[in-house]
């Protein structure tokens, strides 16, 4: 039998603040009702919808210095990619690079408040619309 993904660990300076930020960004992620997060905890975690990995925020002494080798790709559920980018910017995220092509395909690379990269892709509705003939 193979392993399954249990946690996706995110190194950070202030685990509680970053966890609170990601809780506002991600649909369906929240505190574990059996183990809610508190500012003085040694780390923070968010649980997602059934089958999703937990996000584990772990404080580390060093600051981020290079590009992440692993990152999250987000897909908006009820808005366009550009509307989601604007929403995340309003929450304190930063646009890092735009990789949007003339036909609308592509993604936007953003940074969370601690500089961790993540991408915002087109929504499923945008992809379906682009696949329509004519």
pLDDT at 134: 66
Q: How many CA atoms lie within 13 A of 128 on its CB side?
A: 5
- What are the pLDDT digits (tens) for 74-121? 999 999 999 999 999 999 999 999 999 999 999 999 999 999 999 999
Alpha-helical runs (H) found in 1-134: 15-25, 81-90, 124-131
Indicate the Cα dihedral angle 17, 20, 22, 23, nearest 10°: 170
């Amino acid at each position: 039998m193979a392993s399954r993904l249990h946690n996706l660990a995110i190194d950070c300076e202030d685990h509680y603040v970053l966890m609170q930020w990601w809780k506002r960004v991600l649909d369906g992620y929240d505190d574990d009702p059996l183990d809610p997060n508190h500012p003085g905890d040694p780390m923070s975690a968010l649980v997602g919808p059934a089958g999703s990995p937990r996000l584990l925020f772990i404080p580390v002494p060093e600051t981020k210095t290079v590009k992440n080798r692993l990152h999250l790709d987000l897909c908006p559920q009820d808005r366009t990619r550009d509307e989601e980018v604007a929403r995340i910017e309003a929450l304190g995220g930063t646009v890092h690079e735009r990789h949007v092509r003339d036909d609308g395909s592509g993604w936007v690379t953003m940074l969370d408040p601690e500089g961790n990269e993540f991408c915002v892709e087109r929504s499923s509705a945008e992809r379906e619309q682009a696949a329509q003939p004519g």
